[in-house]
Structure 1
Amino acid sequence: MEALINDTYLNKSIEKILGCATLALYGEDIRFSVLLAIRDVRDYLTNVKAGDPAANQRVFQNSLTALANSTHPSMPDYKKTIEYAATLMTVELGE
C-alpha cells in the first residue's frame, strides 16, 4: 500500500481498515473491528499526535474518502467498509 499520510501509526490504521474491507468481501461482519480501529485513531489524534486534533481528523477522514472513491465498482462491500470508517470520523463515539 502506498503511504497516504506521513505517519506510521495512521498508515497502519488504514491497513487495518483495508484488512477489514477485504474480510467484508467474504461476508464477514466487520463493523465492530472498524469501530475499534477508528476509536484508536481518534484517541491517537487527540492525545498523541501534534497539531489540531480536529484538523488531523479531517485529514484522516479525507484520506479514507479518497481511498473509498478510488475503489473499483466491482467491490461495493470493500468500498462500503472504507466509507463506514470515514463516517465514524465525523460522529461522537463516546467513552
Structure 2
Amino acid sequence: MSYDIRLCDPVTHETLEVDSPHLMAGGTYALGGTTELWLNVTYNYARHYHCLGERGIREIYGKTGAESIPMLKAAALRLGDDVSDDYWEAT
C-alpha cells in the first residue's frame, strides 16, 4: 500500500504538470522522469507521518501547495535526522 500525493488544479482537480520532466524519488519511479507533479510514498512509513497531525499524511489532502509547505517543513523538523550507518538496520 502507498499514498499518491498530487498537486492538483483547484478547479479541475487534474494533476498539475511542468514543462520539462523531473525525477521524483518515492515509492514509484517514472523512468525518464515525469512532467506530472505527483509522488508515490510507501505506507511503510505511515507511523512517521503523524508528525503532521492526527490524520497523518492526510493532513495535507485538499490543501494547496502553499498551505502544505509550512506543514511539511514543520514535520521535517519534528522528525529529525537520526539515521543509522548500518545498511541492514530497519529504516
Same fold (TM over 0.5): no
Higher CA-based Rg: 2
TM-score (norm 2): 0.31
Q: Judging by fraction of residues, say which structure has more helix.
A: 1
Q: Judging by fraction of residues, say which structure has more strand.
A: 2
Greater relative contact order (CA < 8 Å, ≥ 6 in sequence):
1
